[in-house]
Chain A
Amino acid sequence: MENRAVLLPQTNRDDWGENMMHARTLTIRIMRYNPAEPETKPYLQDFQLTEEPGMTLFVVLNKLREEQDPTLRFDFVCRAAICGSCGMLVNGKPTLACKTLTKDLPETTTLLPLPVFKLIGDLSVDTGVWFRDVSLRTESWIHTDTVFDPDAEEERMDNDVAQKIYEAERCIECGCCIGGCATANIKPNFIGAAGVNRVARFMLDPRDQRTDREYLELVGTDDGVFGCVGLMACDDNCPVGIPLRDQLAYVRRKMAQSAWNLGKTK
């Protein structure tokens, strides 16, 4: 008897989408540019294809490459909104292409590479190098003098603290918050919401022995946390839903306090 699941209304939503009697013809307008051929200026190229049930931009772009233009460049890795590879501007909004369903798009969709990052070609941008640089500049690793003892029990941590760290750690470095940030678009060295959030992750971590003063040295600048002018597009654009506004406020508050106390304490 316990083997029988409680009979609830069966999920039988007819949303496989197979009832696409009149499948749409989609126009995908893609920015083309190869930095290795600077004589050819960037241009928009239109591709047409028939919409399919459950289609995502991952499926669309691969179909276009395999069936229409094998030179088309774009980045996917996990295709499950986990790895952060496929950030791009979809009709002007920075988002992950892999989780964008075509059923939510109009008949004509424009795809542009994320701004701010170095362009590799077409829709492919160098987010990896950008984020590595920010991680190095913010020294995003645990700073500690303690030495790991292989024979000792692990140090205890309150689970709420662990969860708070994890909430900030969830950033997938896709760059959507950076591409959509007005400040990052005009200030090349600004670490952006992702950078500030990364700092917050280590500030929250009791294992990291850095003082607020040391964090102030790292990010208490115009390229750091004080570069933000509070437009908060980052908070709207984050595809994994990290509360970036709160994280920015948290770090700013700590840094402002620390700066205020300069000279008062050592």
Chain B
Amino acid sequence: MSHYDSYVTDVLVIGAGLAGERAAVEAATQGLNVIILSLVPPRRSHSSAAQGGMQASLGNTAMGKGDSPDVHFMDTVKGSDWGCDQDVARLFVNTAPTAVREMAHWGVPWTRVTMDKKIYDGKEIYEDPEKVGLIAARNFGGTAKWRTCYTADGTGHTLLYTMDSMVLKLGITVHDRVEALSLIHDDEQCYGAVVRCLRSGDLRVYTAKTTVIATGGYGRLYGASTNAIINEGSGMALALDTGVVPLGNMEAVQFHPTGIVPSWILITEGARGDGGYLLDKNLHRFMPDYEPVKKELASRDVVSRRIMQHIRDGYGVESPYGEHVWLDIRHLGAKHINTNLREIANICKNFRGIDPVTDLIPVRPTQHYSMGGVRTNIDGQAYGLRNLFALGEAACWDLHGFNRLGGNSLAETVVAGKIVGHQIARYTKEVSPDVKFSLMEEHLHQQVDRVKRLQSCQDGTENVYQLRREMEGILSRNVGIFRSEGPLQEAVSALHDLYERSLHIGLRGGGQGGDPELGAALRLPGMIRLAYCIALGALAREESRGSHFREDFPKRDDENWLKRTLAYWPPGADSPVLQYEPVKITESPPGDRGYGESSRASATDKPR
């Protein structure tokens, strides 16, 4: 038997983004030992890339006057197209203001209310002098009030650096450049994880009273995604692989309206929130034609569909990378662009060689966020396996239902981190799971065996990168913004074949030490399983709700589909199994969103 390092802790957090670190801080503050595992140095986590902001109903700005958790609640529920759990949404909106203020106490330099002259959409805004110096907010899509708290152009960056400073202060152990390969479990309880060191390639065993998945989303299953390259859904795949933990609503995939062409880097919603327009090939501002009230600031699912619809109708701008529309922020002026939207200016300059002060920005809807994930209860406990928690984008808590509002994901990481972190601490103090060595060894040896088979090409010689490109292509082409039975059926059968092939990968480079090809090969079958769950869930859901739009079923169908998809992957199976559970409606019965297609009298109501 080979030698391996082993670690024991109270709480094992997989993922060092905002959600994982916030939960770790809570657990450590309550006296527990915590180890955080991370693919990369914590400050490189994808949370740092969030430019826009964090929703909390502080109501300090003039345009946020009268805001309250109740208003935030209704925005969130409407945004989700009544697909969220309303008890979770209520808990979230009530906690968000405290969570924002707590981050201020820990060091986030939130942008503050000033009396500087502000013009928005042609009108001057007068702030209340009493509020100067309090935390300011900007406008975001799908919200009735200006509610998105921000730090100039780097909200995620400052939140993550501040959170990580708390991790340092509390002396929490962080092991970076490691990747969890499997959860150690016996179908009833979780005991930790088998982990690969990405520096040396060595395998390690971590055992814990409580294991927490906070690994973010799966954006990189799609070929064109705004996400960082590490967002491969690894934590969701770990959970699905247990056979007993379900993933919720995997078909709910958010496409952000404005990924820059062709690198698909995100141009923040703050651009439209601060007053940017979308223009077509005739430089016509088309959004007001479709959405007279919310214009560019309807929810993301709606704006993305409107853009694609407009392009389909022949108004797209042609380019070698496909048709796109323009984002125009020139009228906001150089000063505003180079401070509050500086990140956009940098991205435009660095990656497209244009200056948004004088140039239009080419944009197209791009995969951006995973509403689905490891299904948990309101305390963050995963379904199906004791001692396992999940939170943040990796989880389906379920705050976002079928469409997440901009500014609600950063907020979720910090708010859920606080709430679920507290529950983790409470829970961990009460349990003392008894892990058997034989179980640890069994799980370790499964991974040792996988590595050996890949290194020796024992199972075949399929090329991991080629299979990966095929998976990306299938999802991008067939499981995108507009969906229908034929292409979805095609995607399901293609993914079925692809999954089988992924069991026959062989390495071309030998896979020694911390080899990157070996890492990719260990990951890919799990990624294809996730892709399969997305496609199958989308095929089964014969309605349109939020981001899930079926051209063959263009209406929301509350009678048959006001329910959450739960995808399981039974041990040894070659395809997922779908089940459903009801959505929790506590305060707001399903109604009209006030924007988007479903709010219209009929689907044939053409805006032009």
Contact = CB atoms under 8 A, between A and B. Distances in A.
Interface of A: 2-8, 10-11, 13, 15-16, 18, 34, 36, 53-54, 56, 65-67, 69-73, 75-85, 99, 101, 120-121, 126-129, 131-132, 135-136, 140-142, 144, 146, 148, 150, 152-159, 161-163, 165-166, 169-170, 172-173, 205, 207-208, 240
B228 A71 contact: no
B44 A150 contact: no
Contact of B517 (A70, A142, A157): A70
B243 interface: no
A8 B506 CA distance: 55
Contacts of B169: 141
A6 B284 CA distance: 9
Given A70-B508, A158-B133, 11 more contacts: A18-B320, A34-B513, A65-B517, A70-B516, A75-B40, A77-B228, A121-B513, A132-B174, A142-B165, A148-B101, A169-B161
Nearest to A8: B330
B510 interface: yes
Contacts of A144: 105
Interface string B535-563: 00000000000000000000000000000
B154 interface: yes
Contact of B111 (A16, A136, A159): A159
B510 A80 contact: no
Q: Of residues A11, A121, A172, A240, which shows the largest number of chain B Cβ atoms within 10 Å of its Cβ?
A: A11
Contacts of B279: 5
A266 B600 CA distance: 73
B265 A99 contact: no
A73 B509 contact: no
B168 A16 contact: no
Interface string B489-524: 000000000000000000111101111110000000
19 contacts: A36-B200, A66-B465, A71-B512, A71-B515, A77-B46, A80-B266, A81-B350, A99-B351, A101-B351, A121-B513, A132-B168, A135-B168, A152-B101, A153-B101, A156-B132, A163-B109, A166-B154, A170-B154, A208-B107
A16 B49 contact: no
B319 to A, nearest CB: 6
Contacts of A172: 43, 48, 157
A177 to B, nearest CB: 16
A71 B509 contact: yes
Nearest to B100: A154
A238 to B, nearest CB: 13
B320 A73 contact: no
Contacts of B582: none
Interface string B129-140: 000111110000
Nearest to A165: B109
A142 B285 contact: no
A131 B352 CA distance: 31
B105 A207 contact: yes
Interface stretch (B203-211, B306-314, B353-361): B353-361
Question: Chain A's interface: helix, strand, loop or mixed, by majority?
Answer: loop
Contacts of A146: 105
B205 to A, nearest CB: 21
A157 B112 contact: yes
A10 B360 contact: yes
B577 interface: no
Contact of A166 (B42, B100, B158, B283): B158
B417 to A, nearest CB: 15
Nearest to B161: A169
Given A15-B353, A72-B516, A5 B510 contact: no
A173 B352 CA distance: 24
Interface in B119-155: 122, 132-136, 151-152, 154
Given A3-B288, A65-B516, A163-B152, A79 B40 contact: no
A53 B351 CA distance: 11
Interface in B21-61: 40-46, 48-49, 58
B431 interface: no
B111 A141 contact: no
B104 A154 contact: yes
B513 A36 contact: yes
A113 B285 CA distance: 47
A56 B350 CA distance: 10
B285 A71 contact: no
A108 to B, nearest CB: 23
A10 B283 contact: yes
Given A78-B228, A83-B228, A128-B40, A73 B516 contact: yes
Contacts of A66: 465
A159 B49 contact: no
Contacts of B135: 154
A99 B350 contact: yes
Contact of B107 (A69, A135, A141): A141
B152 A166 contact: yes
Contacts of A156: 112, 132-134
B177 interface: yes
Q: Of residues B132, B136, B177, which shows the largest number of chain A Cβ atoms within 10 Å of its Cβ?
A: B177
B158 A169 contact: yes
Contacts of A4: 284-285
Contacts of B45: 77, 83
B114 A13 contact: no
Given A10-B283, A66-B465, A159-B113, A85 B49 contact: no
Given A3-B285, A36-B513, A165-B109, A80 B49 contact: yes
Contacts of B110: 157, 162
Contacts of B326: 11
A82 B49 contact: yes
Contacts of A78: 44, 46, 48-49, 228-229
Nearest to A71: B509
B100 to A, nearest CB: 8
Contacts of A3: 284-285, 288-289
Contacts of A18: 320
A70 B509 contact: yes
Contacts of A157: 104, 109-110, 112, 133
B301 interface: no
B446 interface: no
Contacts of A169: 109, 154, 157-158, 161
A90 to B, nearest CB: 14
Q: Of residues A84, A144, A169, which shows the largest number of chain B Cβ atoms within 10 Å of its Cβ?
A: A169
A5 B284 contact: yes
Interface in B206-228: 228
Contact of A5 (B102, B177, B285): B285
Contacts of B112: 156-159, 162
Interface in B462-489: 465
Given A77-B228, A79-B228, A162 B111 contact: yes
B504 to A, nearest CB: 17
B166 interface: yes
A148 B105 contact: yes
B98 A140 contact: no
